[in-house]
Structure 1
Amino acid sequence: MTSVRDLLEIPELRLRVRTGEDLLDRGLTRIYGTELPDPSRYLSAGELVLSGLLWWRGPEDAEPFVAALAEAGSAALAASAADTGRIPAALVEACGRYGIPLLEVPADLSFAVVTERVVLALAGASAGRSRLRTAAAGDASLTALLEHARAELGAPCWVLSATGRMVAGSGVELVDTQGIARAFVRGGCRARVTNGYTLLPVGERATVPWALAIEGDRARWTGATGSLAAELAALVDLDRSRSEQVRRVADRVAAPLLRLAAGDSLTDTDFTTGLAAAGLPGHSTIRVVLARTGTGTPSLGVALLTELLAGYPARTLVGEAGEDACALVVGDLWPPDWAGKAVAALSTVDSLIPASRVLLGIGGPAAVTELRGASEQARHAVAVAEGRPGRIGVVSGDQLRAHQLLVAAADADLRRSLRARTLGPLLAYDQAQNADLVRTVRVFLDCDASPTAAAKALHVHVNTLRYRITRAGELLGMDLTDFGNQVDVYLALRMSP
């Protein structure tokens, strides 16, 4: 929308602000000329009122005229005193009291020129918004919409996620998307200027908001530019909502497969039907990504997985799998170091995630017929992530060693029982004597049962280390230099207490 301030940037008008400098961002709807001492019957909100002050007889006339403008919600008064050559002080004072910006029109400027230029400015802003709406209403992609916007705004623009992922752009590379995203999140995902870009929020209520980035500082924008930018942000939000609705409908076909991933049983017929409904050939390769947030509802995990997998080049199906969220990722085009990139993305939006922890486990790749096995691997990976420190954990099943999978596969009661049975005497001794033999044994085994390496890691003499290991073996009733005993103790040490 064209603002009062925009009129000051039209060189032909040569307008001068007499009062109301802090009110110039008001939007204009139209222009209305009057010489009536009380024009209240003909005024409407948002108008620029144009007057030659022919109604002026004395200072007492200012109050009723300006009061009528304020009551109607007029945007500003543009006045010319062609007869006297100066705007009456009483009129300036009244406009200041009633909050009506007063613009002085040069005495040598025709009101016809003023009216023409204001009408053209209003029409230009409206036409720009109309062209954007037309582009959005067609089959144009988000990238095409941004190209239209670039032409209208005279500046390149982009849409990026709060994680730093580039969603779409107008053909020019945006530098340091991660830094811009971090600044956006730190600012509460509200409109702001950072690194020479104006950021406008898109989908503020979404778990992972987007930002519309436009090159330049909005403080230098005209009102028309600001209006176009706001219109573009709304259209991007609409495009996102439409795309998410289409995705949710498409993902529903994967419900039977997601139930299998959650541990439910499916008949061969149901499984085959589920594959066909999802459009997955029997020879497909698949990965399973589970997200656990501990919020009691998997919807948060669904939103996070959808964001993290948005750039994947092949088919993904995302939905609920029991209390977890689950994504079925089809194909072999898995990005390198996806786990590390997921941690970085989640860390960027950490303050926006309403969960105590976010844990992701990745299972596969496997043939789609081995979906259950890939799902088990993903669940074990989540269990391993749960045992690690930190609010955000992402573990890939193919990175786990065999003993980690075995430990993760055991239920909580079994883990506690095995830990107590194997390490019970050692745990009791440490507690009673305020000793640290459990840690000594752990470091010893982590050092491949090397007394020299373990002594160095613990900063003790090697003879001290040997004595402690011998004492620990006596308490446990086993020889800790025996490989089989070492395996038992090593597994027990990794059982959660």
Structure 2
Amino acid sequence: MYDNDSPMHRQLSPVSTPAPSGVSLAEVLELPVLEGTSVLAGRDGLDGLVSSVNVMEVPDVLPWVRPRELLLTTGYPLQSHDAEDLIAWVNGLADAGVGGVGIKLARYVEELPAAALAEADRRGLPVLALPAEVSFDDVINQVLTRVINQRADTLARAEQVLQDLVGVVIAGGDLDQVCQGVVRHLARAALVTTMDGRVLASAGELPEDLGTLPGFDPTGRFLVETELPGMSSEFSGTHRFVARIPGGGAGGGVDLGRLVLLREDPFTAEDNHVVGQATTAAALAITKQQAVAAVEGKYRGDFLLDALLGRAGDPERVASHAADLGWDLRRPMAVVVAEAEAPDDDDPVARTLPERFRAAWERAVGADDELTAVAGFSQEVVVLLGVPAELDPAGVTEKVRAMAGVVHGRGGGGRRTFATGISRTITDLADLPRAYAEARKAVQVGRRLHGERAVTHFDALGVFRLLSQVEDRAELASFIAETLGPLADDTSEEAEDLRTTLTVLLDNNLNVALTARALHFHYNSLRYRIGKLERLLGPFTTDPRLRFAIMLALQARQLDSP
């Protein structure tokens, strides 16, 4: 039904504001005071809205008319107009968005020219012939009474929705139940998302794969950054409205998320009042949820941090208390550390990012195992991941990489860049502090070697594991400088080219033919480069100890390079 390649998806209309408020002109014509009124032209515009009434008794009325206004006239200002003047008058009213024109014929104007009526038909501007005996005061009173009553009904409806939805929250309801209430009152389907597009709750008729809906990416994340709030759009008969869920504080604070509504009928300005009450209830539910989560999260996080640092007591006490919190620590586990980049100081949502990052990991991990311990510490999230006995380090890494992918994508996580480290599997909680240190080391080294999104297992660090343990970084830098000589610090293109040649040559165990093919060099050109390298570094092709030192220095330089 919501295939991205279907014509429905391609027919997404331009974004627009909700339909304005008012009463349709067709409804206005049903009022008793307008009985006997006939439509002279512009019948296609009778569905247009009327929100006010004005009387025209001067020729230059155009500067004073307003959109959705019903304009009444005796015809007196038009008696000196010829057909061309009346055509221009019709176009001016249509351009101003006037809802319709009611005129009393016979007294000053016998009839309107056919050309002017044809132009009104073309522009969809309703032209009405009013009964001669009708009183303009009566028309104004009855039309405005109808408009005001409609607005009163809208406000009453909005108040009822607010009472209903706030009642749901006060009674202990969650965001899903708020969405269900919104569906009862307003839409076919409703979703609440975070400010990074992760869907927190939903209700109503939605496709199983949200990625097929316009405005969502393939992972099912709502595109908050491009789908503007307060705007309505239409795709093949389905209308969508996006609303802000405002936070508290001065000036409204930081938005808590978005409310996305879907239904068959266009959204109107009257619906805007109701949507406003729905977002108030959603904000209340989110704030309540965040407050509870903050208290619970701090308690759980403090306990887990004590366990990771070895100060929570003996293993049995730790396992027992963890079970009370819903975590199973009596099984083989690996410690997973996900460390996010720090947000900019001027980021308006920086305060909420750590909690959203933790929640995204909890959601991703919980889909696989609800008994897994997850806690957040500032820019770091720690997961005590249960590991089946048959799963080797490569298998654990792939499992964690899949979870990290969910957090990066559909899980949200504040759309933050983060690196992930994995410890060796442990079977004794007494080893938890060591495993935590291993995971943190894997994060640090993995980020330096493979970038900001690296997922690195401690066992995969190889020699880097040993190099990273060297506490005296000055001594390590001295070793690199003495071993690599001018190639240690030279950042020129020639030096980088020589380092690449040296690395590939060593990786190919000094096989000149293989290295030449890998670097796309001529055999003799590579021989020349090897000679140049030996003049810089010494006879590494014949001295295995020197060759080992150079290999170690290249690895250490890679570890410490910016």
Using the size of structure 2 for normalisation, the TM-score is 0.59
1:327 and 2:366 are equivalent in the alignment: no
Task: Pick closer, same or farther for the CA change 1:158–1:453 going to 2, 3 Å.
Answer: farther
- Report the equivalent of 1:402: 462
1:374 and 2:435 are equivalent in the alignment: yes
- Which of 170, 186, 197 is 2:203 aligned to? 170
Displacement of 1:213:
1.3
The one-letter code sitting in structure 1 at the alignment partner of 2:292 is V
The one-letter code sitting in structure 2 at the alignment partner of 1:400 is A
- Which of 162, 167, 173 is 1:134 aligned to? 167
Contact map agreement 1:444 1:451 (CA 8 A) in 2:
yes
Q: 1:344-368 CA distances to partner (integer Å, 9 max, x unpaired)?
A: 4699955xx6xxx744434455446
User: How many residues end up aligned between the 2 structures?
Assistant: 410
Task: Pick closer, same or farther for the CA change 1:242–1:432 going to 2, 3 Å.
Answer: closer
Match of 1:241, SS state, is helix
- Report the equivalent of 1:184: 224
Contact map agreement 1:208 1:349 (CA 8 A) in 2:
no
Task: Pick closer, same or farther for the CA change 1:462–1:115 going to 2, 3 Å.
Answer: closer
The one-letter code sitting in structure 2 at the alignment partner of 1:416 is A
- Report the equivalent of 2:259: 212
1:305 and 2:331 are equivalent in the alignment: no
Displacement of 1:130:
2.0
Task: Pick closer, same or farther for the CA change 1:249–1:23 going to 2, 3 Å.
Answer: farther
- Report the equivalent of 1:144: 177
Match of 2:160, SS state, is helix
1:266 and 2:311 are equivalent in the alignment: yes
Match of 1:288, SS state, is strand
Displacement of 1:241:
2.1
- Report the equivalent of 1:283: 330
Contact map agreement 2:357 2:413 (CA 8 A) in 1:
no
Question: 2 CA distance for matches of 1:327 and 1:275?
Answer: 17
Match of 2:281, SS state, is helix
Match of 1:417, SS state, is helix
Question: 2 CA distance for matches of 1:240 and 1:481?
Answer: 69
The one-letter code sitting in structure 1 at the alignment partner of 2:513 is T
Question: 1 CA distance for matches of 2:153 and 2:492?
Answer: 85
More moved, 236-245 vs 468-477? 468-477
1:338 and 2:403 are equivalent in the alignment: yes
- Report the equivalent of 1:30: none
Displacement of 1:221:
1.9
Task: Pick closer, same or farther for the CA change 1:366–1:358 going to 2, 3 Å.
Answer: same
The one-letter code sitting in structure 2 at the alignment partner of 1:396 is T
Displacement of 1:460:
1.4
Contact map agreement 1:470 1:480 (CA 8 A) in 2:
no
- Which of 203, 221, 242 is 2:267 aligned to? 221
More moved, 363-372 vs 166-175? 363-372
Task: Pick closer, same or farther for the CA change 1:451–1:430 going to 2, 3 Å.
Answer: farther
1:401-440 superposed matches below 5 A: 401-411=461-471, 412-413=473-474, 415-424=476-485, 426-427=487-488, 436-440=497-501
Task: Pick closer, same or farther for the CA change 1:302–1:222 going to 2, 3 Å.
Answer: closer
Q: 1:242-291 CA distances to partner (integer Å, 9 max, x unpaired)?
A: 22222222222332532564xx563754x665554443455143533231
Displacement of 1:386:
3.3
Contact map agreement 1:202 1:210 (CA 8 A) in 2:
yes
Contact map agreement 2:245 2:255 (CA 8 A) in 1:
no
- Report the equivalent of 1:75: none
Displacement of 1:8:
0.9
Q: 1:280-333 CA distances to partner (integer Å, 9 max, x unpaired)?
A: 45514353323143469996545423334334322443232xx75232345459
- Which of 436, 448, 453 is 1:387 aligned to? 448
Question: Structure 1: where are the runs of 5+ without partners?
Answer: 25-80, 92-102
Question: 2 CA distance for matches of 1:361 and 1:239?
Answer: 34
Displacement of 1:336:
5.8
1:190-201 superposed matches below 5 A: 190-193=229-232, 196=235, 197-201=240-244
Q: 1:73-102 CA distances to partner (integer Å, 9 max, x unpaired)?
A: xxxxxxxx99963547xx9xxxxxxxxxxx
1:436-475 superposed matches below 5 A: 436-447=497-508, 449-475=510-536
More moved, 332-341 vs 311-320? 332-341
Q: 1:20-56 CA distances to partner (integer Å, 9 max, x unpaired)?
A: 75699xxxxxxxxxxxxxxxxxxxxxxxxxxxxxxxx
The one-letter code sitting in structure 1 at the alignment partner of 2:134 is G
- Which of 282, 298, 317 is 1:236 aligned to? 282
Contact map agreement 2:256 2:283 (CA 8 A) in 1:
no
Question: 2 CA distance for matches of 1:446 and 1:207?
Answer: 53
- Report the equivalent of 2:537: 476
Contact map agreement 1:444 1:454 (CA 8 A) in 2:
yes
Match of 1:128, SS state, is helix
Q: Percent identity?
A: 18
Question: 1 CA distance for matches of 2:404 and 2:196?
Answer: 14
Question: 1 CA distance for matches of 2:247 and 2:549?
Answer: 52
Q: 1:85-144 CA distances to partner (integer Å, 9 max, x unpaired)?
A: 3547xx9xxxxxxxxxxx94558x9x6x88876654443332233222222222333222
- Which of 53, 60, 70 is 1:18 aligned to? 53
- Report the equivalent of 1:293: 341
